[in-house]
C-alpha cells in the first residue's frame, strides 16, 4: 500500500499552531482523494475509514455532486449571500422539504445558523431558552456538541471543557443510556431529579442528546430509552433537541438517526454531511410553534454558503427512495460480522463491539490498544481514529458510499492489524485487567 | 435598472425560520453575480455596496480565484480534511507567510479554528484566558465579535445579547475611542479602572477590539488611541486581540487594519474575506510565545476547508505589491468626496460622515433616515445596509475590486436617493432634533 | 393548654415584609420562654419541638448560660470586636479546643466568618476553591446550606434557588445516600462521574454534605456511605466539608454529627446552637494545612459577637463528660419508640419514620398530612414544623435539654393529633396513593 | 496612656485562622469597654475612633440600652425566634415606624434578612431581580457591599473579590461621583451606557450605592449626583438601593445618610448600628409595591435576634427629636477643623481631607503614611483604621455619642502622631510624588 516515503511535515510544524491534532496521528501530506480513497503527496494510497469525522458520507469528490457545484460556479451562481434569498437556497429548501421532511411526516422550519455544527447547537440552545424562559439544559455523560462556549458547556469531555478558561454554566449532566450498566434505568434517574423539587436541578429548557454518541465512544441509545426521554420531555414541557450533526445524513442507517425510535424532536441539529461534499453547512430544524426568533437574533456571515446548498441538494438524490438505506444496511452488516469475527480472535473480555450502522468499533479494556491499532492501520494504509473518554474505541466510519471491494480491502487491513496486536499478546482480558 | 417584477419570496416565508433578516430588506431572489454586480431571478440588476458584509472584498465570482478552485476540484484535490495536512493548506500557509506576515515583519502561528469569525474569536478568547489564567476580557461599547456564547459575551448589541437566554459573563465593557466626545480620553478611563484595585474590574486576560467598528456604526479608532491601548496592555501583561474579521483583508486600506497604527497585536482574528471567494474560512494568528494549545484543545469539523485554502491563496496575489493598496485608496477618496458633497446638500447637523477606507457611511441624526435611504437605494438597484446601535448609519462597503465605473454608477444612485430624501424635507438638523 | 385568645398579628401584617413565614403557621405573638416552653402575649403556653430550627439545643433562656452573659455585660465586657482579640474569644477558643477538639483527636484552626450558617458555608466554599484552584463543588439532592448566593448554589430546594434571580453556578448535584432506593449505591454513581473524564463533571474543589439532611426531610446518611465519600475525596484530593450547622452541637447524639462514622472532614461548618443561647455565632473549622487565607480575605462585621463567645463557652460545659450524650440517647430512644407506636396506629404505608437522635419525624405518603398534623399540634400547644421537598415530614426537634416530663407531655399531644388525623381517615396507605 | 505590657496573642496565633486581620494591627487582647474607651487585659486604655467599623455608633456598653437588654433577658424574654412574631419585634417595628419612617415621610415594609449587612444586601439584590426580571446590578467603583457571593459581586475591592474562587457575575461597575475628577459627570457616563443599546450593559435590575463610601476611602457623593442617579433610575424603571449599613444610623449626621439629598430609595439596607449595642441585626427596607416576596423565599436562622430588637428599639430613643443630629454636627465640625489644621501642618499636596459627618479622614499621597499614622496612634492609645483602595486614608469614626472631652483627647493624640510623622519628613507633596 505504501509506495514511497511520507512527505515532510515541516511547513505545518513551523507555521501552524500547536493546536493541530489529526496531522500528528496521520503524519503525511494528503493531496488527492476520491470516494473512500486518499493519496498523499508522494502517491501513497489510503483507505478512508474516518470520512471527515462524518462529513464525507457521500465520499470524497463525489462526481455527481461535483458536477453540480462546478456548473453552478461557472454560470456565475451566487456563492455567498448572508441570508438573502437565492435560487440555490430556494431549490435546496424545496428539495429538502420534499425529499426528507414530507415523506417522514416531519414539519420543521429550517434555520441556517452559520455553517458548522457548533453554530447549529448554539442556535438550538438559544431558541430553547427563549421559548421556555429557562436557563438549564440537560446534557448527557460523554456528549459532544461543539467547542464554542454555549455548546462546549453541553459537552462532557473534561479536556475540551478545560480549554474554555471560564466556568461553563447552564447545563446539568445526566447519565446516558446504559451508563451504570443494564440494571439502572437512567431515564428514571433523570425523571426523579426533575420531579423532586429539592434535587438542585431546575426544570430545564431542553434535553439535548445524540442517539449514538460518536466522540463519546459509540454508545447507542436504545429505542426504548429515546422514547422514554421524549415522554419525559413532553410531560414537563421540556424541548427535545437531537444533535444529529454526526449521526444524521444516514450514518446510522436512516436519514435522521432518530427515525427508528419513532420520536419527533422539537429541534434537530444538522451539519457535517448535510453539505454533501464536505462543504461547511449547517441547519437547525425547528418545530414551527417554537420558531419565535426575531429577525437576525442569531446570525453568521457564512450562513448563506450557496455552494453548500447546491452540493446539499445534489446529495439528497441518494434519499429519493430506500435503496440507499438498504445499501447502508448491507455494508453495516458486513462490518459487524467482521468485527464479531475479530473479537473472537482476541482474549475474552479484552474487547467489545460498539456502535451501529456505519459507525462501529472495537472498545478495548486496555485503552491504549485502540491507539496502537489505529497506528498500525495507518502504517498499512488505513485511516481510522479512536474515540471514547479514554480513547479506548477504535472506530470505523467509512463513507456510506464506499465501494464494497474497498470496504472489504479496508476490513482486511484491519484484520491484519488485529492479528498483529493479538500476536504481541498485549491484549488483556477483562478478568485480568 | 429594474427590468421586471421581483420573484416570489414564498418558499422562504414558508420553509425558512423567522430568524432570516436581510431577505426582508432585499426582497428578491438572487441568482447570479459577478464583480460588484448581482442579478435576481428575473434579471433585475443590482450594484453591490454590501459585499457580503465584508466577505467579498475581491468581488463575486472573481474569475482568477474561481479558476484555481475549479481546477483543484477537477483534479480530485482534497476538499475536507479536518486538520490533517494537505498540499492546499501547506501552500496557503507558505504563501500567507511570505506575502503577508514576513513583509510586515510579523511572526504568528496560524490556527484554523473552524471556518467562521465567531470561531476565531472564541479560540482567541480561550487561548488568552489559558495563557494568563485570568477570566475577564475587556471589550468596547458597540463592539461586534460574534454570536456564539463566548464571542457574544464580548458583543455590545443588546438585542443580540438578549438572544443568549443566559447571562453572558467574563467580559467588561469600556468606552471605545471617542465614546464621550473629544474631551474624554477613554484610554485614561480604562487605565484608571485597571490600576485602581477597588474598581471592580479585574486585570483582564485580554483586550479585544476592532480598529473600526463596522456593525457598531463605522466608529474609527485613532492611531494614538490604538497605540495607547497597546501600551496599556504591555504594561499589565494583558493580551491584545484585534478582531480583523471585517476590517482585515484590505477593507480599511491595508491588509491588516492595524498596520497604519504600527501596533502588533498578540492575537489577530481573520475570517470573511480571507476565504477569497466568499468561502467559509477563518484564521486565528497567535504570537508564537502564546501558542500553548494542547493538541485538539479547540477544534471544529470544517477547520480544514481546502477550497477555502485554495481560494485564499489565490486572493493573496492581490497583495504581492502595493498596487492594490493604492487602488483602494483611490476608491476610498472617491467615496469620501462624494459623501462630503452629499452632506453639503443636507441640512446642517442632520448627517455626518463615518468610517474609513472602503467602509464609509452617513450617520443620520434621525436614525430612521438611514433605513429609508437604504430602502430607496434598493428600489433603484443599489444594495446598502445600515449599521450602528440605532441603525442610524447608511453604510457603503463595495468590493475592493469594484470597477471605477460601477463605483461611479453606485454613487450616482446614492446621490439620487439623497436628493429625494432631502426633497421630502424629512431631514432634521442637529439643532432641531 | 390554651388560656386565652391569641394576640393580634396586625403589626406584622402591616409593617413586616411578605417574606415572613413561620409567623404564618404559628399565628401568635410570643413573649416569654424558658427551657422547652414558650408563652405568647396572652399567656398561652406551648411546648417547643422546633428549638429555633436547631439553634436552641440548650433550651430557651438557659439559666447557667444567661448568668454568664449578664455578668459579662454588667462588667463592661467587650460586646462587639470585629476580629480584634478579646478575653472572651480567647477563653472560648481555649475551652473549645480542650473540651471539643482535643478529646476527639481533631485539629482545626477556628475561623469566625460572620455569625450565621450561610456565612460559614460561604467561607468554606471559598477556602476550598482557593486551596484547590478548582471551581465546582459537589452538593447533594435535598441539601440545605444557606440563602446567600454562594451557599444557595449548593442548596437543592428549587423554590429557594429561584429566589436568587440569577443563575446559580459552581455546583453539581449528586444523589444523596439512599436517593434511588436501597439497590443503588450512590457513592458509586459519584465515583463514576468523577472518574470518567467525559462525564461533564469536573473534579471538584470539595464535596459538601450534611450527615442528616434536616430541611431535606430528615434523610440519614449511613456510616458506610460517609466513609466511602471520605475515601473518594481522599483519592481525588477533594476537600470534604461537613455542614454541621443544624446537626452539630449534639443534635444527632454526639457533638459533631460525623463522630459515629469516624470520618475527619477537612472543613466543618458550625452555627445555630454553637452560640449556646440562640445568639448569632458561626465557626468554620479548617484543617491547618488548608488554612491558607490571607488576612481579611473573608470577613464580616459581626464575626466578633462576644456575647456569643461567652454563651458558647458556657454551653460547652455540657460536653465536659459523656453524661449529656447519654441523656440525649435516652430521649432519642423515647421519641423513637413513641413514633414507632404511632406509625403502628396508622394505615400501613401511609407514613414512615425518618431521622435520628433528637431530630426525628414522620414522613407521610400524602404530603399535606404533615402540615395538617403540625397545624393540629399548634392548636393544642405544640410547636412542630414540616420539612422535606414536598413538606411531607412532620419533624420533632426539641431542645436537647428538654425535661423528660415536658418531652412526655409533648409526645402525648402529638399522639392526640395523630389519633385525630387517623380518625378522620384521611391517611392513605402506600398501595392506595 | 500605656499602663503595662500588652497581653500575649499566643492563643489566637495558635488556634484562630490565618484570616484574622484587625488583631494583627491592634496587637493586644481587649477585655472591657464603655462609651468610646476600651481597655485591654493589662488595663491599658484606648480611645476608640473605629467604633466597630460603624457598629457602635452609640458607644460600647451604652448603659441605657444595656439595662433594657438585661431586664429583657432576666424576664425570660424570647431570645431567638426565627421569624415568629414576638413582643420584642412588634415593639421594635412600631417604634421604628413611628420614630424613623413616619417623621421622614417614608413608607417601607421591613424585612429581617439574617443579622448581617451582607444578608441585607443579598436580599435586596434578590428582590430587585425578582421585581424586574433582570439580571444585572450596577455597582460603583470602590463600593463595599459584603463578602458572600451575591454582595461580593457588587464589591469593588479586587483582593476581596479574588477570594471568591469563582467568577463573580451579575454586576457592572460604573464610576462613582468624582471618579474622574471634577470635569467628568459620571452620571452622564452611566446614562450613556444605559441608553445606548450597543453599550454591552443591559438595563439593570437595580443601582446599588453608598452615599459615602467608607471602605472605599470616604468618598462622598454630592447631593446633585444622588438626585441625578435617582432620576436616571426612575426614567428606566431601575430600582435604587441605598446600602446604608455603615453610613446609616447617624454616621453622616442624619438617621439615613440620604436624607439630605432628598431622595427616596426603593430599598434600603441597614445593619451595623441598627442593632444599637453591637448586636447582630439587619433590616432590608422595601418599598411596599416591590415587597412581592413569597413566604420564606429568603430566610436565615438568626433573622429573629430578639436581643437585637430590644437594643435597637432602645437606641431609637436618640432619634426622638433633633438634638442628637445637632450633637453629631457639633462633633463633626470639631473633627473637621482639627483635620484642616493638621493638613496645614503637612507639606502641600501630601494629604487631603475626606469624608463627612462622623466619618472623616486624611488621604495621603503616599499611601503607606496612612498605615504609619494609624500604627503610631495605636502605640499612643488611639484606635484608628485605614481605608481606600490603596489603604491611603486614615479614618476617624468614633462613636457618635463620644464625650466631647474624649473626642478632644483622641484628636490630641492624633495631632501628636501627625507631628511626629511630619518631623520625620516622610511626607511627600503631590508635586514630588
Q: What is the CATH number of the domain that holds A232?
A: 3.40.640.10
User: Which residues in chain A are closer than 8 Å to D166, comparing Cβ atoms?
Assistant: 167
Residue D148 belongs to a domain:
yes
User: Which residues in chain C are closer than 8 Å to B167, comparing Cβ atoms?
Assistant: 166-167
Contact status, residue A417 vs residue A377, Cβ threshold 8 Å: yes
Q: pLDDT at position B425, please?
A: 60
Residue A144 belongs to a domain:
yes
Distance (Å) from the alpha carbon of A127 to chain D's nearest alpha carbon? 19
User: Do B196 and D141 lie within an 8 Å CB cutoff?
Assistant: yes
Which 3 state secondary structure label does DSSP give D8?
coil
What angle do the packed helices A87-96 and A306-315 form, to 10 degrees? 30
Which chains are adjacent to chain C, needing at least 3 Cβ pairs under 8 Å? A, B, D
Contact status, residue B311 vs residue B65, Cβ threshold 8 Å: yes
Q: How far apart are CA B106 and CA B234, in angstroms?
A: 17
Instruction: Give the residue from chain C lying closest to D81, CA to CA.
Output: C52
Which ranges constitute the DSSP H helices of C168-283?
A: 186-195, 223-235
Q: Model confidence over B264-297: pLDDT tens digits?
A: 999 999 999 999 999 999 999 999 999 999 999 9
Q: pLDDT at position D432, please?
A: 45
Look over chain D and give the mean of its residue pLDDT values, rounded to a whole number: 96
Q: Model confidence over C58-91: pLDDT tens digits?
A: 999 999 999 999 999 999 999 999 999 999 999 9
Interface of chain A toward chain C, CB-CB under 8 angstroms: 135, 139-143, 155-159, 161-162, 167, 169-173, 175, 179-180, 183-184, 188-189, 192-193, 196-202, 216-217, 388-390
Distance (Å) from the alpha carbon of A128 to chain D's nearest alpha carbon? 18
User: Which residues in chain A are closer than 8 Å to C179, comparing Cβ atoms?
Assistant: 192
Instruction: Give the residue from chain A lying closest to D168, CA to CA.
Output: A167
Task: Tell me the residue range of the domain where A421 lies.
Answer: 322-391+403-433
Q: pLDDT at position A226, please?
A: 98
Size of interface A-C (CB pairs under 8 A): 105
Percent of chain B with pLDDT over 90: 95
Instruction: Go through A202-223 and write b for each residue having 16 or more CB atoms within 10 A of its CB, e for each that does not.
Output: bbbbbbbbbbbbbbbbbbbbee
Structural element, H or E, at residue C70: helix C63-74
Using CB atoms, pick whichever of D170, D180, D192 lies closest to residue B167. Answer: D170
Contact status, residue D36 vs residue D48, Cβ threshold 8 Å: yes
Q: How far apart are CA B86 and CA B73, in angstroms?
A: 14
List, in order, residues 6 or more apart from D222 with CB less than 8 Å away: D177, D178
Q: How far is C-alpha B336 from the chain's CA centre?
A: 19
Q: Model confidence over C200-231: pLDDT tens digits?
A: 999 999 999 999 999 999 999 999 999 999 99
User: Does residue B225 sit in the same domain as residue B117?
Assistant: yes
CB-facing half-sphere around the CA of A209: CA atoms within 13 A: 30
Distance (Å) from the alpha carbon of C136 to chain B's nearest alpha carbon? 16
Contact status, residue D359 vs residue D247, Cβ threshold 8 Å: yes
Based on the structure, what is the number of domains in chain B? 2
Q: Label residue B394 by pLDDT band (50, 70, 90).
A: very high
Distances (CA, A) of C263 to A100, A317, C384: 60, 66, 32
Instruction: Give the residue from chain D lying closest to C299, CA to CA.
Output: D147
Using CB atoms, pick whichever of B139, B158, B200 lies closest to residue D173. Answer: B200
Residue A14 belongs to a domain:
no
Q: What is the mean pLDDT of residues B388-414?
A: 98
User: Which residues in chain D are closer than 8 Å to C19, comparing Cβ atoms?
Assistant: 111, 113, 123, 291, 293-299
Contact status, residue A50 vs residue A383, Cβ threshold 8 Å: yes
Instruction: Give the residue from chain D lying closest to A169, CA to CA.
Output: D167
User: Which residues in chain D are closer than 8 Å to C26, comparing Cβ atoms?
Assistant: 84-85
Closest CA to A125 of A7, A208, A213: A208
B200, B218, B389, B393, best to mutate vs chain D, most D CBs in 10 Å: B200
Q: How far apart are CA D16 and CA A56, in angstroms?
A: 65
Q: What is the mean pLDDT of residues D180-199?
A: 95
User: Does residue C332 sit in the same domain as residue C314?
Assistant: no
User: Which residues in chain C are closer than 8 Å to B135, comparing Cβ atoms?
Assistant: none
Distances (CA, A) of D352 to D10, D339, D415: 39, 9, 15
Q: pLDDT at position A432, please?
A: 45
User: Do A200 and C170 lie within an 8 Å CB cutoff?
Assistant: no
Q: Model confidence over C263-314: pLDDT tens digits?
A: 999 999 999 999 999 999 999 999 999 999 999 999 999 999 999 999 999 9
Instruction: Give the residue from chain D lying closest to A165, CA to CA.
Output: D167
| Phi/psi at B26 (5° precision) | -105, 80
Q: pLDDT at position B423, please?
A: 86
D165, D200, D205, D386, best to mutate vs chain B, most B CBs in 10 Å: D200
Distances (CA, A) of C308 to C74, C80, C115, C279, D287: 15, 10, 9, 6, 33
Q: How far apart are CA D196 and CA C84, in angstroms?
A: 48
Residue A85 belongs to a domain:
yes
Instruction: Give the residue from chain D lying closest to C15, CA to CA.
Output: D109
User: Does residue C429 sit in the same domain as residue C412?
Assistant: yes
User: Going residue by residue through chain A (433 aa), what tens digit of pLDDT does each one get?
Assistant: 455 689 999 999 999 999 999 999 999 999 999 999 999 999 999 999 999 999 999 999 999 999 999 999 999 999 999 999 999 999 999 999 999 999 999 999 999 999 999 999 999 999 999 999 999 999 999 999 999 999 999 999 999 999 999 999 999 999 999 999 888 999 999 999 999 999 999 999 999 999 999 999 999 999 999 999 999 999 999 999 999 999 999 999 999 999 999 999 999 999 999 999 999 999 999 999 999 999 999 999 999 999 999 999 999 999 999 999 999 999 999 999 999 999 999 999 999 999 999 999 999 999 999 999 999 999 999 999 999 999 999 999 999 999 999 999 999 999 999 999 988 765 655 444 3
Rg (CA), chain D: 22
User: Does residue C209 sit in the same domain as residue C307?
Assistant: yes
Q: pLDDT at position C430, please?
A: 46
Q: Model confidence over B312-326: pLDDT tens digits?
A: 999 999 999 999 999
Residue D118 belongs to a domain:
yes
Distance (Å) from the alpha carbon of B126 to chain C's nearest alpha carbon? 17
Stretch among A82-96, B205-219, D3-17 having the lowest mean pLDDT: D3-17
Instruction: Give the residue from chain D lying closest to C79, CA to CA.
Output: D278
Using CB atoms, pick whichever of D142, D170, D171 lies closest to residue B198. Answer: D142
Cβ-based neighbour number of residue D401 at 10 Å: 21
User: Which residues in chain B are closer than 8 Å to C297, comparing Cβ atoms?
Assistant: none
B298 pLDDT exceeds 50?
yes
Structural element, H or E, at residue A183: none
Contact status, residue D78 vs residue C32, Cβ threshold 8 Å: yes
User: Does residue B295 sit in the same domain as residue B341?
Assistant: no
Which chains are adjacent to chain A, needing at least 3 Cβ pairs under 8 Å? B, C, D
Contact status, residue A66 vs residue B73, Cβ threshold 8 Å: yes
What angle do the packed helices C404-423 and C368-379 form, to 10 degrees? 120
Enter the DSSP assignment of D401: T
What is the value of ipTM here, to two decimals?
A: 0.96
Using CB atoms, pick whichever of D277, D292, D300 lies closest to residue C18. Answer: D292
Interface of chain D toward chain A, CB-CB under 8 angstroms: 166-167
Closest CA to C138 of C102, C175, C107: C175
Q: Label residue D59 by pLDDT band (50, 70, 90).
A: very high
Which 3 state secondary structure label does DSSP give A281?
coil
Which chains are adjacent to chain D, needing at least 3 Cβ pairs under 8 Å? A, B, C
Q: pLDDT at position A433, please?
A: 39
Q: How far apart are CA D23 and CA C81, in angstroms?
A: 10
User: Does residue D167 sit in the same domain as residue D254?
Assistant: yes
User: Which residues in chain C are closer than 8 Å to D297, comparing Cβ atoms?
Assistant: 19, 159-160, 162-163
Alpha-carbon torsion (D373, D378, D380, D384), positive or negative: positive
User: Which residues in chain B are closer than 8 Å to C167, comparing Cβ atoms?
Assistant: 166-167
Distance (Å) from the alpha carbon of B167 to chain C's nearest alpha carbon? 8
Which chains are adjacent to chain B, needing at least 3 Cβ pairs under 8 Å? A, C, D
Structural element, H or E, at residue C29: strand C29-34
Alpha-carbon torsion (A389, A390, A392, A395), positive or negative: positive
Q: How far apart are CA C70 and CA D73, in angstroms?
A: 8
Q: pLDDT at position D99, please?
A: 98
Side-by-side strand order, sheet with D385-387 = D351-356, D359-364, D393-396, D385-387
Q: Which of C319, C346, C363 is the last residue of a domain?
A: C319
Residues facing C284 on adjacent strands:
C111, C269
Q: How far apart are CA C149 and CA C152, in angstroms?
A: 5
User: Does residue D201 sit in the same domain as residue D80?
Assistant: yes
Write the DSSP string, A218-253. SEE--HHHHHHHHHHHHHTT-EEEEE-TTTTTTTTS
User: Which residues in chain C are closer than 8 Å to A135, comparing Cβ atoms?
Assistant: 167
Q: Which of C319, C347, C373 is the last residue of a domain?
A: C319
User: Which residues in chain B are closer than 8 Å to D179, comparing Cβ atoms?
Assistant: 192
Q: Which three cell numbers stand for residue D191?
A: 446614562
Distance (Å) from the alpha carbon of B213 to chain D's nearest alpha carbon? 11
Residues facing C242 on adjacent strands:
C209, C268
User: Which residues in chain B are closer than 8 Å to D192, comparing Cβ atoms?
Assistant: 179-180
Q: What is the CATH number of the domain that holds D419?
A: 3.90.1150.10
User: Do A173 and C199 lie within an 8 Å CB cutoff?
Assistant: yes
User: Which residues in chain A are closer than 8 Å to C169, comparing Cβ atoms?
Assistant: 167, 169
Q: pLDDT at position A380, please?
A: 97
User: Does residue B144 sit in the same domain as residue B234?
Assistant: yes
Q: Which of B277, B302, B319 is the last residue of a domain?
A: B319
Residue A36 belongs to a domain:
no
List, in order, residues 6 or more apart from C378 with CB less than 8 Å away: C25, C26, C46, C384
Apex C38 CA angle, C34 and C42, nearest 5: 125
User: Does residue D78 sit in the same domain as residue D161?
Assistant: yes
User: Do C141 and A200 lie within an 8 Å CB cutoff?
Assistant: yes
Distance (Å) from the alpha carbon of A202 to chain C's nearest alpha carbon? 7
User: Does residue B298 sit in the same domain as residue B189?
Assistant: yes
Using CB atoms, pick whichever of A112, A114, A165 lies closest to residue B129. Answer: A165
Distance (Å) from the alpha carbon of A245 to chain B's nearest alpha carbon? 10
Residue D14 belongs to a domain:
no
List, in order, residues 6 or more apart from C57 with CB less than 8 Å away: C51, C249, C250, C251, C272, C273, C399, C400, C401
Using CB atoms, pick whichever of A12, A61, A148 lies closest to residue B118. Answer: A148
User: Do B157 and D198 lie within an 8 Å CB cutoff?
Assistant: yes
Residue B354 belongs to a domain:
yes
Contact status, residue C383 vs residue C49, Cβ threshold 8 Å: yes
Q: How far apart are CA C382 and CA C48, in angstroms?
A: 6
Q: Round to the nearest angstrom and report the end-to-end CA distance of chain A.
A: 35
Q: What is the mean pLDDT of residues D270-290?
A: 98
Write the DSSP string, B144-164. ---SSHHHHTT---HHHHHTT
User: Does residue A192 sit in the same domain as residue A161?
Assistant: yes
User: Do C217 and A197 lie within an 8 Å CB cutoff?
Assistant: no
User: Which residues in chain A are closer than 8 Å to C175, comparing Cβ atoms?
Assistant: 189
B16 pLDDT exceeds 70?
yes
User: Which residues in chain A are closer than 8 Å to C176, comparing Cβ atoms?
Assistant: none
User: Does residue B307 sit in the same domain as residue B348?
Assistant: no
Closest CA to B288 of B257, B267, B272: B267
**pLDDT lower than 70: segments of chain C:** 1-4, 425-433
- Strands D382-383, C109-111: parallel, antiparallel or unpaired by DSSP? unpaired
Contact status, residue A107 vs residue A297, Cβ threshold 8 Å: no
Amino acid at each position: 500500500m505504501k509506495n514511497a516515503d511520507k512527505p515532510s511535515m515541516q511547513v505545518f510544524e513551523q507555521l501552524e499552531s500547536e493546536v493541530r491534532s489529526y496531522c500528528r496521528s496521520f503524519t503525511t501530506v494528503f493531496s488527492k482523494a476520491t470516494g473512500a480513497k486518499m493519496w498523499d503527496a508522494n502517491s501513497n494510497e489510503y483507505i478512508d475509514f474516518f470520512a471527515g469525522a462524518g462529513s464525507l458520507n457521500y465520499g470524497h469528490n463525489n462526481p455527481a455532486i461535483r458536477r453540480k457545484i462546478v456548473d453552478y460556479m461557472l454560470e456565475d451562481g451566487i456563492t455567498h449571500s448572508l441570508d438573502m434569498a437565492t435560487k440555490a437556497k430556494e431549490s435546496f429548501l424545496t428539495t429538502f422539504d420534499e425529499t426528507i421532511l414530507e415523506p417522514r411526516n416531519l414539519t420543521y422550519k429550517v434555520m441556517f445558523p452559520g455553517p458548522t455544527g457548533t453554530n447549529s447547537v448554539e442556535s438550538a440552545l438559544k431558541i430553547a431558552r427563549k421559548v421556555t424562559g429557562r436557563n438549564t439544559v440537560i446534557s448527557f455523560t460523554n456528549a459532544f456538541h461543539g467547542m464554542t462556549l454555549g455548546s462546549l458547556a453541553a459537552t462532557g469531555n473534561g479536556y475540551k471543557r478545560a480549554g474554555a478558561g471560564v466556568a461553563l454554566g447552564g447545563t446539568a449532566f445526566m447519565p446516558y443510556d446504559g451508563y451504570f450498566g443494564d440494571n439502572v434505568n437512567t431515564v428514571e434517574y433523570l425523571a426523579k431529579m426533575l420531579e423532586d423539587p429539592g434535587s438542585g436541578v431546575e426544570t430545564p429548557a431542553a434535553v439535548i442528546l445524540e442517539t449514538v454518541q460518536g466522540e463519546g465512544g459509540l454508545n447507542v441509545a436504545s429505542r426504548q430509552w429515546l422514547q422514554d426521554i421524549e415522554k419525559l420531555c413532553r410531560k414537563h414541557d421540556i424541548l427535545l433537541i437531537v444533535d444529529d450533526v454526526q449521526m444524521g445524513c444516514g450514518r446510522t442507517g436512516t436519514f435522521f438517526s432518530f427515525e427508528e425510535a419513532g420520536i419527533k424532536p422539537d429541534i434537530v441539529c444538522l451539519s457535517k454531511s448535510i453539505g454533501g461534499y464536505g462543504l461547511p453547512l449547517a441547519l437547525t430544524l425547528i418545530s414551527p410553534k417554537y420558531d419565535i426568533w426575531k429577525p437576525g437574533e442569531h446570525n453568521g456571515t457564512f450562513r448563506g454558503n450557496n455552494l453548500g446548498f447546491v452540493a446539499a441538494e445534489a446529495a439528497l438524490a441518494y434519499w429519493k427512495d430506500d435503496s440507499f438505506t438498504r445499501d447502508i444496511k448491507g455494508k453495516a452488516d458486513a462490518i459487524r460480522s467482521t468485527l464479531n469475527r475479530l473479537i473472537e480472535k482476541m482474549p475474552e473480555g479484552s474487547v467489545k463491539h460498539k456502535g451501529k450502522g456505519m459507525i462501529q468499533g472495537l472498545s478495548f479494556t486496555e485503552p491504549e490498544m485502540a491507539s496502537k491499532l489505529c497506528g498500525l492501520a495507518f502504517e498499512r494504509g488505513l485511516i481510522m481514529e479512536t474515540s471514547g473518554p479514554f480513547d479506548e474505541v477504535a472506530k470505523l466510519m467509512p463513507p456510506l458510499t464506499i465501494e464494497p471491494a474497498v470496504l472489504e480491502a479496508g476490513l482486511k487491513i484491519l484484520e491484519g492489524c488485529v492479528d498483529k496486536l493479538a500476536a504481541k499478546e498485549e491484549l488483556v482480558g477483562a478478568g485480568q485487567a
